[in-house]
């Protein structure tokens, strides 16, 4: 049985949280008097394990403690992890302006609490995904992409179903034929301390750059000081690039996996 299927099945009994974000249902962790201290997931151990694997003819190269590459130049692949357990699989391409771009292919959320000891098994799952990316055709930029609106609608529909329960869907604002904002509002924020800011809205922006032939997706908050409504745009929390030849589902699933853990 594949590890993620086994793990999801076990979670129904023991209350583990989904480590990759594949499962749509979530189960509270059951507290037991005899519960042992949490075993934290060892990211460096996972990277070390990944560094032992060759993907096709591509040799692994550890760049940093949280980042590993396979191959060099166009078509090469990298895996890296962020500070909150986000794991990215990206592929190197070149846009129409000649700039190298790491194109997002997959995004997973690793639950770093309570799954220590599963590093080797999770590594196998990641390698399976890297192998799929390697075997797929290399994506490319386009200067005649006319599907930005359809992509925004697809992404909006997906986020509406998968977004964190803290947010609810407002709608999609069309700025131009190449620029759309998917808007969510935050539910009741509760009591907040002075000097804190209130999140007015969360925006996912889909922008097609015709000159570069790329799609850029960002996510950021609109915030105001308490008792005021200034609607200040905060720095983007993500800035991911995609190529128009990528499957819409692949793009939507990557962004949805991030947004679910908002």
pTM of the predicted protein model = 0.79
pLDDT value for 54: 94
The Cα–Cα gap between 18 and 248 comes to: 24
- Reported as a pLDDT band with limits 50, 70 and 90, residue 98 is very high
Residue ranges in 23-109 assigned as alpha helix (H):
43-50
Q: For residue 67, is pLDDT > 90? A: yes
Q: How far is CA 98 from the centre of its chain?
A: 26
Between 192 and 162, the higher pLDDT residue: 162
The Cα–Cα gap between 70 and 138 comes to: 14
Residues 169-186 pLDDT 10s: 999 999 999 999 999 998
- 114: CB partners within 8 A, 6+ apart: 16, 17, 29, 38, 39
Q: For residue 112, is pLDDT > 70? A: no
The Cα–Cα gap between 213 and 206 comes to: 13
């Amino acid at each position: 049985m594949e590890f993620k299927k086994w793990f999801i099945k076990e979670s129904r009994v023991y209350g583990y949280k989904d480590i990759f974000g594949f499962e749509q249902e979530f189960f509270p962790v059951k507290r037991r008097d005899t519960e042992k201290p949490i075993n934290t997931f060892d990211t460096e151990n996972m990277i070390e394990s990944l560094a032992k694997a060759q993907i096709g003819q591509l040799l692994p190269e550890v760049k940093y403690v949280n980042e590993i590459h396979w191959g060099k130049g166009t078509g090469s692949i990298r895996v890296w992890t962020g500070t909150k357990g986000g794991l990215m699989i990206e592929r190197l391409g070149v846009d129409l302006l000649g700039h190298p771009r790491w194109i997002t292919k997959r995004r997973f959320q690793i639950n770093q609490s309570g799954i220590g000891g599963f590093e080797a098994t999770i590594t196998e799952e990641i390698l399976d995904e890297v192998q799929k990316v390697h075997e797929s055709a290399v994506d490319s930029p386009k200067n005649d992409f006319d599907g930005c609106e359809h992509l925004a609608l697809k992404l909006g529909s997906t986020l509406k179903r998968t977004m964190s329960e803290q947010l609810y869907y407002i709608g999609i604002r069309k700025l131009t034929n190449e620029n759309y904002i998917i808007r969510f509002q935050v539910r009741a924020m509760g009591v907040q301390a002075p000097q804190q800011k209130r999140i007015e809205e969360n925006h996912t922006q889909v922008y097609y750059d015709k000159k570069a032939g790329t799609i850029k997706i960002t996510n950021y908050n609109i915030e105001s000081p308490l008792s005021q409504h200034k609607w200040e745009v905060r720095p983007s929390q993500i800035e991911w690039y995609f190529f128009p030849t990528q499957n819409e589902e692949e793009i939507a699933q990557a962004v949805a996996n991030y947004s679910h853990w908002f």
